[in-house]
Chain A
Amino acid sequence: MKFGVVVFPGTWSDRDCGRVVTEVLGAELEYLWHQEKDLKDCDCIILPGGFSYGDHLRCGAIARFSPVMDSVVRFAAHGGLVWGICNGFQVLCETGLLPGALIRNDVCEFRCQWTHLVVERDDILFTSTLRRGEVIKIPISHGEGNYFADAATLSRLEQNNQVVFRYAQPDGHVVPAANPNGSIHNIAGIVNREGNVLGMMPHPERCAEPELGGTDGLRLFKSVLEAFAELVV
């Protein structure tokens, strides 16, 4: 299968994602420049972390008007896999592919640290090798990762089981103390109702090799690869 990593001006995690795909996972990779409309037959599009367009106006606000995003929106509408990480999650919310918004961390600080996430969905491709209820360790690195949705949207998200990851203690308890940024309901990642568009603030590409202090991030990449292989067969 082939991963496509979108590169906006100001994206910084594109090479990290690319390295995981080619060097660690051994899958095919295309970098997709923001001005291109052609998704080059990629099977999973990654919107990586960074500061697209300098985060001007709002994080992800300008990126959503890039030519490549028109194609990504169409791709997602046809069931294509779209995976937004950090700034990519912000872009997905601005685009409307995912509900809610990401606002400034409640602590008013940029937070760069390990977090523990409890996995709430194991029936989507992105988490096919994980188990519901297990805890994974993935770092965050953001100043605006405070997930917000109004009461009606939040209740829809919860009813439809669209929360995939929540910030938790190492033992899996979801408590305010485990919340690094003020996200409502400790939300770290959500998926659309169809299950093909995932947005998450933590960075799985930064913990895909033992030298980086953990490999839980690689399990997400492997999940996509393995689940996709089964789909095709």
Chain B
Amino acid sequence: MVKLKAQVVVMLKPVVNDPQGLTVRAGLHRLGFEEVEEVRVGKFIEITVTAADEAEGRRQVSEMCRKLLANHVIEDVRFQVEAVADREQAGAARTE
């Protein structure tokens, strides 16, 4: 078994208006960052999973994205997974 950390990014589809992004862009412009052309605000989700191997872990996370993490009417989703480092595992164990 391997312990994996998945980093999931959920963004509104390009055709969906993003009022949050427009507001942040206006704020950046007010701060003097006139060069800012576009801002899109999305969600970042970290998931730690245990799986038989990396391929199985990817399959699980993909299923999570499809069923819950993104609404495919309005959002696109992408993710990457990486093995959780030993040191991080040890740190987590101490915290517990």
Contacts and interface: CB of A to CB of B under 8 A. Distances in A.
Interface in A38-62: 57-58, 61
Contacts of A149: 73
A106 B73 contact: no
A101 B19 contact: no
Contacts of B12: 103
B17 interface: yes
Contact of B19 (A58, A61, A104, A150): A104
Range, interface on chain A? 20 to 34
B60 interface: no
A88 interface: no
B93 interface: no
B68 A182 contact: no
B90 interface: no
Interface string B1-34: 0000000000010011101100100000000000
B17 A150 contact: no
Contacts of B74: 101, 103, 148
Nearest to B73: A101
A174 to B, nearest CB: 19
A106 B17 contact: yes
A61 B73 contact: no
A100 interface: yes
A100 B16 CA distance: 12
Contacts, number: 38
B68 A103 contact: no
A212 interface: no
A105 interface: yes
B80 interface: no
Contacts of B89: none
B47 to A, nearest CB: 13
Nearest to B74: A101
B49 interface: no
Interface in A134-184: 146, 148-150, 182
Kindly name the residue among B16, B19, B68 whose own CB sees the greatest number of chain A CB atoms within 10 A. B19
B69 interface: yes
Interface string A78-115: 00000000000000011000011101111110000000
Contacts of B43: 57
B19 A105 contact: yes
B16 A103 contact: yes
A104 B20 contact: yes
A91 B17 CA distance: 21
Given A57-B68, A61-B68, A103-B12, A182 B73 contact: no
Contacts of B20: 104, 108
Interface in B63-96: 68-69, 71, 73-74
5 contacts: A65-B68, A101-B73, A101-B74, A103-B74, A104-B19
Interface of A: 57-58, 61, 65, 93-94, 99-101, 103-108, 146, 148-150, 182
